[in-house]
Structure 1
Amino acid sequence: MAAGPAADAAPATTPVTVAGWVLDGPHGDLRVRVYEPDTEHRVAGLVWAHGGAFYRGDLDMHEADGVARYLAARGVVVVSVDYSLAPTFEGADRAPAPGAGSGRTDARFPVASREMAFAYAWATGADLGVRPDAWSIGGASAGGNLAAGASLRLRDAAAGVPGVVPTPSGAPVPPAPHSVVLAYPVTHHVLPPASDELLAALRGVAPDVSFPPPRLRAMNDNYLGHDGGPASPYAFPGGQDLRGLPPTMLVTSDRDALRAGGEAYAAELVAAGTEVVLVREEGTRHGHLNQPQHPGCGRSLVRLAAFLTGGTDDTALEPPA
């Protein structure tokens, strides 16, 4: 494994330039926001998707903007994707932000999944100072689902499967990602059983952040547009053929029902031969990258930066105490 930056020394930061783009996406206009370090030395690239239960979230939330600014200041060019959103569903805990999701709030699978893969294809071909083979893909919560599903699309496209990755006009099929980074992702259509330890950790956690099974099923079915389960392997990556995927980092929240899915997905990746770094962020609940004042958010940002800029050596992923 490649060594990363020393655990007791924070990486140097640089100023960041931010610009919005409107791409001619596979389902109409697709907005992205590009975060570039103000230096010619660009360590890596990342195409990133925020969370929001598939039906809400935007590029201004800390899980999008805060994460992107932190990583860009450490040499990672970040393309944050304003993917199309699904409709609000019965039992949803919050309304979507006005104008979020590239202006669409009626999109079902595979719209956002295809948009994520398209954004990756665009980024690898854009003149952003990062080699095509140095780009990674990632996301948080529902955005983690989109990133993981897109990693399957990109793997299959690189192997010659036609039509699974929409590309900008005239652009070649992009290379498979250098790596995948996922924060508390939605990995399975039906969540794997929680361990006794996780059930104990969830006691007292509010339903809107603990994902009781009926709410999670309603959320996932709303994304699919039906209650018959996924027909495509790209909808929910858990339980699919995961062979041939790039190194993956999973950061889970401690008191989060989705941790069961993230841990199960990590085990599936390992069984398929993928190099995996799995971190449980102690003392956190689901969505902790949206809580910039929580120490767990800062720890996770350090870990993500170390993984993207320095490889997968465990000592490089342990932030200073």
Structure 2
Amino acid sequence: MNQATTISSVTTEDRVINGPHGAIPLRVYRPTGHPSSALLWMHGGGFRHGSIDMPEAHGVSAELAVRASALVVSVDYRLAGDGVRFPVPLDDVYAAWKWLTSTATSAEIGVCALGGASAGAALALAAALRGRDDSRPADRLLLAYPFTHYPNPAIDDETAREMAALPGLLRFPPETVESMVGNYVGRITDIPVLALPGAARLNDLPFTAIALSQFDDLRPSGELLQRQMASVGVQVRTHLAVNMPHGHLNHVPVPAEATASLEFLASALSAE
């Protein structure tokens, strides 16, 4: 345990747990009163960037803790690069999932969820698949603009025309996606199904909420995931953040559409 502070009505605590590859930093967000649910949250960053201090991690975790009266744990998983490859980030996430489910059980918290944004959504989905097959199933999945397929499905022509004026930093052309996958997996062929888990068997997953960004080259991955889940009987609901680019939960100041996405995810977490 490193430190504890209070942000508005949320208490935060930095701590470290042990995992198969060494220490894993976590940040724990506790709402006022007894939490009604628990959530493990993973930031995005293409598997090679990001931290628990970025708005998509710190801000989102605090917001969901308040809005859903949830115990939220943000994972500072190892980033791909410098010899780190799949499945190391997923192993970190799954070690945190085992810790959280044990903590929630001892604290008598009945609902445990997994969630994340972009690459973090892929990690959340992969951890849910591991948990499904390992007697540690998730009760909910909260996915923000998920990146779960390779090759990534193409955006429709009309949206592509509307996105033409977006800055390059907000775009994900095929070469960028290929670079992210190669850096994470170490190759771009024979991709393990839990690396980009849109290729996995998706049966028997819990209720899933998917928040999408309208002007996002990766939006087709989230839309395809929704169709795949629905086709095997998974209850899934989507929300479209209008006029928003990829990563809209990482923007400061927070746009109105990001607030709507947060409310959508919080509602899914707190739903009966």
TM-score by length of 1: 0.78
Q: 1:73 to 1:132 in 2, by over 3 A?
A: closer
What corresponds to 1:269 in structure 2? 229
1:38 deviation in Å?
A: 2.5
Q: 1:198 to 1:227 in 2, by over 3 A?
A: same
1:127 deviation in Å?
A: 5.6
Q: 1:266 to 1:130 in 2, by over 3 A?
A: farther
3-state SS of 1:126 partner: helix
What corresponds to 2:4 in structure 1? none
Aligned residues: 264
3-state SS of 1:280 partner: strand
Q: Report the RMSD for the aligned CA atoms in angstroms.
A: 1.8
What corresponds to 1:180 in structure 2? 141
Deviations 1:162-206 (A, max 9, x none): xxxxxxxxxxxxx30001000011110210122223323322122
Q: 1:287 to 1:274 in 2, by over 3 A?
A: same
| Correspondence for 2:41 among 48, 70, 77 | 48
What corresponds to 1:310 in structure 2? 271
Aligned pairs for 1:133-144 (under 5 A) are 133-144=110-121
The answer on whether the counterparts of 1:177 and 1:246 sit within 8 Å (CA) in structure 2 is: yes
3-state SS of 2:197 partner: coil
3-state SS of 1:153 partner: helix
The answer on whether the counterparts of 1:26 and 1:115 sit within 8 Å (CA) in structure 2 is: yes
What corresponds to 1:63 in structure 2? 56
The one-letter amino acid of 1:256's match is D
| Correspondence for 1:22 among 16, 27, 44 | 16
Aligned pairs for 1:113-262 (under 5 A) are 113-126=90-103, 131=108, 133-158=110-135, 175-230=136-191, 232-262=192-222
The one-letter amino acid of 1:60's match is D
3-state SS of 1:63 partner: coil
The answer on whether the counterparts of 1:125 and 1:132 sit within 8 Å (CA) in structure 2 is: no
Greater percentage in strand:
2
Deviations 1:143-174 (A, max 9, x none): 1111011111111112xxxxxxxxxxxxxxxx
- Unpaired runs of 5+ in structure 2? 1-7
TM-score by length of 2: 0.92
What corresponds to 1:111 in structure 2? 88
The one-letter amino acid of 1:239's match is A
- Unpaired runs of 5+ in structure 1? 1-13, 88-104, 159-174, 312-321
The answer on whether the counterparts of 1:63 and 1:290 sit within 8 Å (CA) in structure 2 is: yes
What corresponds to 1:100 in structure 2? none
Matched, 1:36 2:23: no
Partner Cα separation in structure 1 for residue 121 and residue 250 of structure 2 = 14
1:305 deviation in Å?
A: 1.1
1:129 deviation in Å?
A: 6.9
3-state SS of 1:119 partner: helix
Partner Cα separation in structure 2 for residue 185 and residue 109 of structure 1 = 17
Matched, 1:299 2:251: no
Partner Cα separation in structure 2 for residue 187 and residue 219 of structure 1 = 12
Q: 1:38 to 1:86 in 2, by over 3 A?
A: same
The one-letter amino acid of 1:36's match is R
Deviations 1:6-61 (A, max 9, x none): xxxxxxxx711111111111110101110011212x11110000011111101111
Deviations 1:128-153 (A, max 9, x none): 87546410000001111110111111
3-state SS of 1:32 partner: strand
